[in-house]
Amino acid sequence: MNLVRMIAIVLTFWSATAWGATLTWTANSETDLAGYRVYSCTVANCSPTSGNAMLLATLGPVTSFNFGTPATTQYYFVTAFDFQNAESPSSSLVTYTPSSGVPPIIGVSPTSFTFAATQGGANPAYQPLNITNAGGGTLSWTASENTGWLSLSQTSGSGNAAVRVNVTTGGLVAGTYSVSIVISASGAASVTVPVTFTVTNASVPVIQASPMSFTFAAAQGGSNPGYQTLTITNAGGGTLNWTASENTGWLSLSQNSGSGNASVRVNVSTGTLAVGTYTHSIIIAATGASSVTVPVTFTITAGSSLPPAAGVSPTSLSFTARRGGSNPAPRSFNISNIGGGILLWYLNDTASWISFSPGDGNQNGVVTVSVATGALAVGTHRGEIRIWQYGDGVIPTAVIVPITVTITQ
């Protein structure tokens, strides 16, 4: 018996979605599940409660499941194993959003965007804007912007979405341009996401750093979190001779200077740090260019209370190939647990021309990505690899790695 069939026994009814099952719960109890073991439950409270219980799961054989009606959106990643019949484990993402009583709340990530390009040059790669419902009910949202150089792949939707934010140099002269994306929804406070686009003269170097900030977390006295990658590129012209500096004992860089583009590993060390939140900045400077400041936040928690969290570097991959030619060489990105506990993850993609290995893992890993260009037309094609993270204390969410392939004649 797989997990979806198992859940169907427990619940009055369920409806399949593209990913697991969306469940409408009623109070129920079922004893036919003896012999099954639920060994991963990410709800905040996995112990029996009375009245409106959320989810009852034990580390022993399951004898009953109790479902109530929580007041806010709940997310579960439940994995079950039929050890009576020696079947393979089966997993499903289970979500529940109450239909009334709790208003929707617009959540966005990231909270701002920065683009840079050379006057008359190529457009920068798109960046994803993740829109989520952090409240209850149904989030029917609209996204608007009011400028010719900014466009969105989607301007309305219901529920969660990943919207591509694109900018075009067009006929823009050198300078810095600013606009905001306004996201609105009935019954929810609107959210404003600032967008800055810097267009430079072709002969002047421009420092572009990605990402624009770093967040690390670790348990006091525990192991250091995995490194994250800072990508430095010249978004302008000329030659970029850069230096990167930091001045604190818990932060270090794999490279402090260079010429042109580079990928710098950013490492943090727990050492003897006390419980608390530490902040510092990496300063990137170059002759003839404006310096860039990249904030770094490091949170130390007591013991092993920190939940696992996935960190990805680099945060995007780009490929180039000639039409009718061979496929470009594979590239890779790193997955690391920047939190505590045990991080479990698996991958899926949004384009048939993307392949990757491995498809799942735990804690840290290296994922190799290949693209098949045979059927692709001349132009730029975009897809995504989604890293679904789960584990004890983690709300199952996806970290998105944009994949771009450009086909030339």
pLDDT digits (tens, 9 = 90+) for 297-313: 888 877 656 677 788 88
**Does 67 score more than 80 pLDDT?**
no
pLDDT at 350: 87
Does residue 254 surpass a pLDDT of 80? yes
Percent of all residues in the chain with a pLDDT value above 90, rounded to a whole number? 25
Strand partners, 91: 79
Can you tell me the mean pLDDT for 367-390? 89
Domains and CATH numbers, the chain: 3-96 (no CATH), 106-200 (2.60.40.10), 207-306 (2.60.40.10), 308-409 (2.60.40.10)
Over 70: is that where the pLDDT of 255 sits? yes
Q: What's the pLDDT tens digit per position in 195-252?
A: 999 988 777 788 988 888 888 888 787 778 878 888 898 887 788 999 999 988 899 9
| pTM, entire model | 0.44
Residue 68 has pLDDT above 50, yes or no: no
Q: Is 50 exceeded by the pLDDT of residue 282?
A: yes
Is residue 177 pLDDT above 90, yes or no? yes
Residues 397, 385: Cα–Cα separation, whole Å: 13
- Alpha-carbon distance of 385 to 316, in angstroms, equals 9
* pLDDT surpasses 80 at 280: yes
Rounded (5°) CA angle 174-145-201: 10
| pLDDT attached to residue 213 | 84
The pLDDT, as a whole number, for residue 101 is 58
Closest of 105, 124, 106, 97 to residue 199, by C-alpha:
124
Q: Check residue 384 and give its pLDDT.
A: 92
Residue 80's pLDDT band (cuts 50, 70, 90): very low
Q: How far is residue 223 from each of residues 217, 226, 254, 297, 408, measured CA to CA in Å?
A: 10, 9, 19, 17, 46
